[in-house]
């Protein structure tokens, strides 16, 4: 009589975790929009790709999830760069008195009405 090992349960193949970058996408989009300009809303593209990652993983589409994660990361970097540009522009405006000139211009417009 020979030994027969017990059957092993079939488990899905293990794969490395695929990050969805959703938190980064949301934070960078909000900061880019608030600090830079409405162009920061381009970060919504990062949010959309981030939202796709988990759904693709549930469907078993690992390659699609990896592509969506990579696209989300790229667009997160774009939104982060816009946020950094916004911070630098704000620092420049405050340090050169640009806000005072802006306030003076607003007062002139209001006085003309």
Question: pTM of the entire structure?
Answer: 0.72
Q: What is the pLDDT of residue 104?
A: 82
Give the domain ranges of the chain.
22-112
DSSP string, the chain: ----PPPPPP-PPP-------HHHHHHHHHHHHHHT-GGGGGGHHHHHHHHHHHHHHHHT-HHHHHHHHHHHHHHHHHHHHHHHHHHHHHHHHHHTTHHHHHHHHHHHHHHH-
Q: What is the pLDDT of residue 3?
A: 73
Q: What is the pLDDT of residue 75?
A: 97
pLDDT mean for each 10 residues of the chain (113 residues)? 65 75 96 86 95 94 96 96 91 80 81 84
């Amino acid at each position: 009589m020979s030994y027969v090992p017990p059957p092993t349960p079939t488990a899905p193949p293990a794969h490395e975790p695929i990050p969805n970058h959703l938190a980064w996408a949301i934070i960078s989009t909000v900061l880019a929009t608030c600090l830079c300009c409405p162009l920061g809303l381009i970060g919504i593209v990062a949010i959309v790709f981030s939202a796709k990652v988990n759904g693709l993983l549930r469907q078993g589409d690992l390659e699609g999830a990896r592509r969506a994660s990579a696209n989300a990361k790229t667009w997160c970097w774009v939104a982060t760069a816009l946020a950094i540009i916004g911070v630098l522009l704000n620092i420049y405006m405050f340090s050169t008195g640009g806000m005072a000139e802006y306030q003076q211009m607003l007062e002139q417009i209001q006085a003309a009405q």
